[in-house]
Amino acid sequence: METYWFDSLPSTQTYMIEALKAGELSAPVCIGARRQTMGKGSRGNRWIGEEGNLFISLALPLSIFPEDLKLESSSIYMAFLMKEFLAQKGSRVWLKWPNDFYLEEKKIGGVITNIVQETLVCGIGLNLATAPEAFGIVDVALSPYEITESYCRLFENLPSWKQIFSKYQLEFEHSRVFFTHHNHEKIALKEAVLLEDGSLVCDGQRIFSIR
């Protein structure tokens, strides 16, 4: 997979989506920025980051993903692949439902996904060097370039959703002391039921991880 690096971008995710729509890039491809000034976080929040942290977006054909993966749960799938890579390097990172990387009780990054025609666009941000107040930093020494190269190689041989979910099902228990947001509502995960497709049942509502 080709990877293109920029000194600075407002948002790798916005750049990738616009480049795909304009026909300037085609999947599979990855772009990275050394600095990001107006990155996209969850619920429309900005994810601003300084040099040394990870800011990448990947464009991947939908056809490469396992048949048992629901696209609504692609953020869990993509995030868990990254989480497992970091864990293999010795990190204690865990994945809060559906798309946030945490170290103990501090957020250290996240994933956002969009569908553009027949392409999944996945943006990933990780605090590797610096973090705003109340946020954390990844607990292993890795460069943005090393992570990106290794992560892109994972898409040569992808596991099934069933394989990912069997591991994530256990990890989900860490999320129960937290909240998630749905339709501008704050919802406690304490009593949530995690279904096999990655969605949740909370207070009688079924919630997918569309991020």
Question: If you search the block for the tokens 């990844």, which residue do you land on?
Answer: 138
178 token code pair: 């937290």
| pLDDT tens by residue, the chain, 211 residues | 999 999 999 999 999 999 999 999 999 999 999 999 876 555 445 555 778 999 999 999 999 999 999 999 999 999 999 999 999 999 999 999 989 999 999 999 999 999 999 999 999 999 999 998 899 999 999 999 999 999 999 999 999 999 999 999 999 998 888 887 777 778 788 888 999 999 999 877 888 765 4
182 token code pair: 């749905």
pTM, two decimal places: 0.90
Length of the chain: 211
| Domains by residue range for the chain, with CATH | 2-170 (3.30.930.10)
- d(C-alpha 145, C-alpha 142), whole Å: 8
